[in-house]
DNA sequence: TCATTTTGGTTGCAACATAAAACTGTTCTG
DNA sequence: CAGAACAGTTTTATGTTGCAACCAAAATGA
């Protein structure tokens, strides 16, 4: 078996999610789902992805519980794809990725869209990592700990 | 051309970053780099990835300016791979992905590692999205805006 | 010092994944 | 009810991945 390696049983909780969304299309599908797209054709048109690939990706996202199929609202026989709660949990990943993209991937002088608060129309704040007591943390200020070495949570 | 499609010239600032890190291994390499790994062999041992794949991924991360090669500290001829500022910017993506993983990918009763603040040893706060004025925002409270439609920033 | 091991890759091959297009069976639309 | 649109599946060519073998330079050690 020379299959592509799966991270599904990895110990690391960064690796395992990548098994669900770690390819070139899945996160874009989720992004489109946040934008309200629900139907196969909408995703296909938005992404320009081949239909067999889209089909496989949607199926994978559904089996991972990120999307779920719901019957068409008009009583039709077709179904639509909507985010589950787990799928909506990816919001922060998308925001983080987008802020990184805004910072490092926007061409000079290039007009680009960015995230704003709908109510005020003004850009949202950058993501920050905080300690339990509110201190702002930098990358070097964190580490990984085993749950069993911690008495409290 | 039947190559794998590239998102490099996509308008969307979520798509373009995926061109740099949207595969199964790149983010894990970056994670290991945050953990202090610097050498080819260290990454290879940590990830268990084939050497040709690792080689290609490291090269890709270097060309995207996420890692850079520095001469070995002991004066040897070999070099090491360290995160650039752009690479360190991925911290928030990793935190977001990890928190999502902690929430939805940890098996029942399974011991897992999680992120703590080094100083206190206590778990870090969950990521939150805030408006400029501090209001907490939910996924539906944001939208994308074109820079040119905004007078201010 | 010179042989051995480790390191950091590259190359070749077989299995697998992706992309494009053609095809099929349903569902809207006029 | 005929034609177009929709939601996929199948086919086929090409790319990518993973493993193993190979190789040269650097570190190790007897």
Nucleotide nearest to A60 (CA to C1'): C17
Place of tokens 């995703």: A43
CA-to-CA separations, A49 to B3, B112, B130, in angstroms, rounded:
13, 36, 33
Task: State which residues of chain B have pLDDT below 50.
Answer: 1-2, 150-153
Indicate the DSSP class of residue B106: S
Q: What are the extents of the domains in chain B?
A: 15-88, 91-149
Is a pLDDT exceeding 90 seen at residue A69? yes
**CA–CA separation, B49 and A6 (whole Å):** 11
Query: Can you spell out the DSSP letters for chain A?
Result: --PPP--TT-S-TTHHHHHHH-STTHHHHHHHHHTT--SHHHHHHHH---HHHHHHHHHHHHHTTSEEEEE-TTS-S-EEEEE-HHHHTTHHHHHHHHHHHHHHSSPTT---EEEEETTT-SBPPPP-EE-TTS-EE-GGGEEEEEGGG-S--
pLDDT for the residue B8: 81
**Fold observed for domain B15-88:** Arc Repressor Mutant, subunit A (1.10.10)
Per the CB < 8 Å rule, is A117 touching B146? no
Compare all CA atoms of chain B with the CA of A24 and give the residue at the minimum distance: B22
Nearest to A3 by CA among A19, A21, A15: A19
- Residue B22 has which token pair? 């949207």
Distance from CA of B52 to the nearest CA of A (A): 14
pLDDT for the residue B128: 97
**CA–CA separation, B142 and A120 (whole Å):** 10
Name which of A16, A114, A152 is nearest B101 (Cβ-Cβ): A16
**pLDDT-based confidence at residue A2 (cuts at 50, 70, 90):** low
pLDDT for the residue B3: 58
Per the CB < 8 Å rule, is B118 touching A142? yes
**A76 CA vs C28 C1’ separation (Å):** 10
Is a pLDDT exceeding 90 seen at residue A152? no
- Residue A118 has which token pair? 């709908």
ipTM over 0.85: yes
Distance from CA of B40 to the nearest CA of A (A): 19
**For chain A, what is the mean pLDDT?**
89
Mean pLDDT confidence for A53-59: 97
Distance from CA of B30 to the nearest CA of A (A): 11
Cβ-contact A91, B139 below 8 angstroms: yes
Chain A contact probe: residue of B5, B11, B97, B114 with most A CBs at under 10 A = B97
């Amino acid at each position: 078996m020379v299959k592509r390696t799966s991270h599904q049983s990895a110990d690391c909780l960064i690796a395992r999610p990548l098994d669900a969304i770690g390819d070139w299309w899945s996160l874009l599908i989720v992004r489109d789902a946040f934008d309200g797209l629900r139907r196969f054709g909408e995703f296909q048109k938005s992404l320009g992805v081949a239909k067999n690939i889209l089909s496989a990706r949607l199926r994978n996202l559904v089996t991972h519980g990120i999307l779920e199929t719901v019957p068409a609202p008009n009583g039709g026989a077709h179904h639509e794809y909507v985010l589950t709660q787990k799928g909506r949990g990816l919001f922060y990943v998308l925001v983080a990725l987008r802020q990184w993209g805004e910072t490092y991937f926007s061409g000079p002088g290039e007009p680009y869209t960015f995230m704003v608060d709908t109510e005020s129309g003004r850009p949202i704040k950058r993501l920050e990592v905080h300690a339990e007591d509110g201190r702002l943390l930098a990358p070097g200020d964190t580490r990984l700990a085993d749950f069993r070495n911690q008495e409290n949570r």
